[in-house]
Structure 1
Amino acid sequence: MVVKQFRWAGRAPMGTAGFLLIGGIGIVTVACGQPIEPAAQAQAEQEGRPVVVDVAVAADAATARTYTGTTRPARQVSLRSQAEGRLLGLSADVGDRVQQGQVVGNLDNVLLQTAVGEAQAELAARQFEVTQAEAQLADIRTSIEESRVRFQQASNDAQRLQTLASQGAVSAQEAEQAQTTLVTAQQALQSAQEQVRTRQQAVAAAQQRVEAQRSILRETQQRLSFANLTASLSGVVLERAAEPGDLVLPGEAVLTLGDLSQVLVVIEVADSNLSEFNLGQSVDLAIDAFPGESFTGQVTRISPVADSTSRLLPVEITVANPGGRIGSGLLARVTGTSGQSNAVSVPESALEVAEDSDSQIFVVTEADGLSVVEARSVQVGDRADGQVTLLSGLTPGEQYVVRSSQPLESGQTVELSLTSEG
């Protein structure tokens, strides 16, 4: 082998051994698919060897993202006490299944029963007032009839005596006395009629007090029924917040119930990736508690409000759960899809800028048993984490150049490094 010596600035000429060492390093570097040393590249050009390039296979961008979330019941409610009292018993514990309307606990109801008794006694008193008012009204109506009869008799007498007085049969004084009696009877009748209206108003007021007391009684009876804690839905007990012997106040949670006939998985998605999900879309997901199994869910809600800290938008996915097999709080992984056909994801280092400022990529093809590169214009989409999505120009499965030691030209023959994907 003839070894030419070169003089480097500031250094003494190197010996044959030094150049052999450099050449050996260059050959090893090319064989390992790493960036090629300039000296080795120059030697390859002189010998007419093709340029060594790293090649990868275009991957479908639709499978590039996985989102994590946690399962929770489709419906979840807190069973809260509606009355104050000491919790005497609680028959349901975490994990137990309950049916809607089932009694799961009870409170001490002594005070509530006392309140019901007092309300019943007050109602009886109000009803007695109505009875008294109605009896007085009946008496007044009887006196009205008597006053009406006396008035009618006085009217007849006054008319008759007035006629006789005009004929001289009786004295004028008797006629005048009969007229006075008539006026007195008329006033008595009017007074009795006024008393009737007053008594009718008294009866109406007493009846209203009775209705008000009945409402109070129904309310106290309702509170007495609150001493029994009943499940508001059919599901599973998720949390037990109180124990027998605790003093429970109105509105205080005792149990948390969840309906696991369906479970929800909520994931958080960046607004730039929100196009991967649509309402009603079916998505695949995996749950770590069930390795090797795949589940299918449906996007049921996409929140328009992003988290104030992470700036991510919650996406809600509903998964059917017959038999309640999937529990609450399990880690789920949702596979997102970009919804772009033939979109691929490549490293940003694979892109080059053409003379017309468009982005291009070199695609590797086979011609007569040789690997040849072809410059192809591409449409660039989203960029993230050193990766870029190509919307057109490259299809999944095609080979493309990731990196090269020197600029490439369309139609140029290349050699694939040992680390290239094939």
Structure 2
Amino acid sequence: MDISMKIYAKLVLYFLLLLILSACGEDQTLQQEEQVLRSVKTQLVGSSQHGVTRTFSGSAKANQRSNLSFRVAGNMQSLKVEVGDRLQPGDVIATLDPFEYQLQAQEALANLTQAQATLRNAKSNFERTKGLYENNNISRNELDSARANAESSRAQVSAANKVLELARLNESYAKLKAVETCSVANTLAEVNEQVTAGQTIIEVTCGEGLDVELVVPESIIALLQRGMSASVSFSAIPDKQFIGKVTEVGVASSAGTTYPVTIALIDTTDGLRPGLAAQVSFTFEKAENQRNFIVPAVAVGKDVSGKYVYLVEKTEKENIGIIKRQAVTTGELTTTGLEIIEGVEEGDQVVTAGVNIVREGLEVLIN
């Protein structure tokens, strides 16, 4: 009996010791958890004192571009230029086989010669008829008929002259010539190819000026006006900024919800040429009552409830804050960050690093 009581007492003592040790371990764990705070990086929200800058991609284009073509159809006999060639006014670019148009011109000349002979005969006949009428040897009807025949022959000569002029023009059109100083940008036809009137043979760029063409979203197009300044940069010339002016603002969507815009470069350099990739930046002045808040894009999260940021509310403890989730409405993504339209105020502290490890109400250490 005494042995059983001793064993029972030892067991009870053993379990009491286990409970005490377990409680002590939990207290230590809780104390450690309370002591270890998650560290986050924050950024103060400030209202921009300047306008908002938007940057879009585009490409350089010659401000004078032309597609050159023959005015007549035919078999292309020669192409005398290559891409990159510089053209001067009067330079022959390409020729068609002129044989058909030469025959037409010869035929028109023969018809003119025949019409002129007919006119001479009609004039002579009219003069004879007029003399006979004055001597009362023929009737007035015969005189009128001779006069009408002479006038008809004169009209036929005039028409034949026009036909000959047109035939000679067509013969001259068998040569495609440059009309101003240009550079060949592209060739679109081959020798011995049968081409039609108006079919593009070469593309040329003329003049020294350059434009930059780009598309902008519908949220921006209403803010653009002709004459507005823009800053343009080219990856091929990384150390130089160019100034441009808006010359064309599209009124119809070019693809989906984007609109075409053309920028004329005010100053150029020898390194610029059509086709270069460009970055175009516009600065939009904010309205008097408008505040623009820009935060890093990584600070903004999104879930089924919408977009949000985590704010840090300061406590009495130094560098210690409480996490608060705040729903926001975002605007455009800029080169400096994401625009916040609604949800934050100037002076708020937004979590910018450690966003994935915080939650509402969590106490954190502010770096």
TM-score computed with the length of structure 1 as normaliser: 0.64
Quote the Cα distance in structure 2 between the aligned partners of 1:18 and 1:204.
127
1:287 aligns with 2:294: no
Query: C-alpha deviations, 1:202-248, integer Å up to 9, x for none?
Result: 11111111111111111110011112211244221111112333333
Secondary structure of 1:337 counterpart? strand
- State whether residues 276 and 337 of structure 1, in contact with CA within 8 Å, keep that contact through their aligned partners in structure 2: no
1:203 aligned to 2:210? no
1:4-15 aligned within 5 A: none
Q: Quick check: 1:56 aligned with 2:2?
A: no
Give me the whole-angstrom Cα distance separating, in 2, the residues matched to 1:415 and 1:108: 86
Q: For 2:113, which of 124, 132, 136 is the aligned residue?
A: 124
Number of equivalenced pairs = 317
- Inter-partner Cα distance in structure 2 for 1:33 and 1:301: 48
How far is 1:55 from its partner? 2.3
Quote the residue 1:240 is aligned against. Answer: 187
Aligned counterparts of 1:19 and 1:137: Cα–Cα separation in 2? 137
> In terms of mean alpha carbon deviation, does 334-343 or 320-329 score higher?
320-329
Per the alignment, residue 15 of structure 2 pairs with none
2:349 to 401, 405, 408: 401
Closer, same or farther: CA 292–57 of 1 in aligned 2, 3 Å? farther
SS of corresponding position for 1:77: strand
User: Is 1:315 the equivalent of 2:261?
Assistant: yes
Q: How big is the shift at 1:198?
A: 1.3
How far apart, in 2, do the equivalents of 1:81 and 1:134 lie? 42
CA distance in 2, matches of 1:334, 1:203: 72
| Corresponding position of 1:145 | 134
Once the 2 structures are TM-superposed, how far is the Cα of residue 286 of structure 1 from its aligned partner? 1.0
Q: CA deviation at 1:195?
A: 1.5
Contact 2:242 2:268 in 1 (8 A): no
**Which has a greater percent of strand?**
2
TM-aligned CA deviation for residue 92 of structure 1: 1.6
Match of 1:134 among 111, 120, 123: 123
Could you tell me which residue of structure 1 aligns to residue 16 of structure 2? Answer: none
Give the 3 Å change call, closer, same or farther, for CA 142–296 of structure 1 in structure 2: same
The structural deviation recorded for 1:103 is 1.8
For residues 146 and 388 of structure 1, the distance between their equivalents in structure 2, rounded to whole angstroms, comes to 106
Structure 2 matches for 1:251-400, cutoff 5 A? 251-307=198-254, 309-320=255-266, 322=268, 325-340=271-286, 343-346=292-295, 383-384=331-332, 387-389=338-340, 400=348
Q: One-letter code of the match for 2:58?
A: G
Matched residue type, 2:40: G
Aligned: 1:73 with 2:62: yes
Q: 1:383 to 1:320 in 2, by over 3 A?
A: closer
* Structure 1 residues 196 and 295, CA gap change in structure 2 (3 angstroms): same
Identity of aligned residues (%): 21
1:336-394 superposed Cα distances (whole Å, 9 cap, x missing partner): 222216633247979xxxxxxxxxx99999xxxx9999xxxxxx997246944459x97
Q: CA deviation at 1:94?
A: 0.7
**Alignment check: 8 A CA contact 1:264 1:318 kept:** yes
The runs of 5 or more residues in structure 2 that have no matched partner are: 1-19, 301-309, 322-327, 352-357
SS where residue 143 of structure 1 aligns? helix
CA distance in 2, matches of 1:330, 1:68: 11
Classify 1:383/1:390 alpha carbon distance in 2 versus 1 (closer, same or farther; 3 Å): closer
Structure 1 unmatched runs, 5+: 1-11, 35-53, 148-187, 351-360, 374-379, 408-413
State the alpha-carbon separation in 2 of the partners of residues 290 and 26 from structure 1: 56
Q: Give the Cα–Cα distance (whole angstroms) in 1 for the partners of residues 153 and 35 of structure 2.
A: 112
Per-residue CA deviations over 1:94-123 (Å, capped at 9, x if unaligned) read: 111212332222222122212111111110
C-alpha separation in 1, matches of 2:79 and 2:71: 16
Cα distance between partner residues in 1 of 2:329 and 2:82 = 53
Residue 173 of structure 1 is matched in structure 2 by none
CA distance in 2, matches of 1:264, 1:372: 55
Equivalent in the alignment of 1:417: 366
Cα distance in 2 for residues equivalent to 1:256 and 1:234: 13
Given that 2:245 and 2:266 are in contact with CA atoms closer than 8 Å, whether structure 1 keeps it comes out as no
By percentage of residues, which structure has more helix? Answer: 1
- Two-structure CA RMSD over aligned residues (Å): 3.9
Gap change, CA 1:246 and 1:64, over 3 Å in 2: same
Q: Deviations over 1:133-170 (max 9, x none)?
A: 111100011101222xxxxxxxxxxxxxxxxxxxxxxx
Deviations, residues 62-94 of structure 1 (Å, cap 9, x unaligned): 455310112212121111122233333322211
Map 1:22-37; keep pairs closer than 5 Å.
24=32, 29-30=37-38, 32-33=39-40
Note closer, same or farther for the CA distance 1:107–1:277 as it changes in structure 2 (3 Å cut): same
CA distance in 1, matches of 2:32, 2:312: 30
Q: Distance in 2 between matches of 1:214 and 1:363?
A: 93
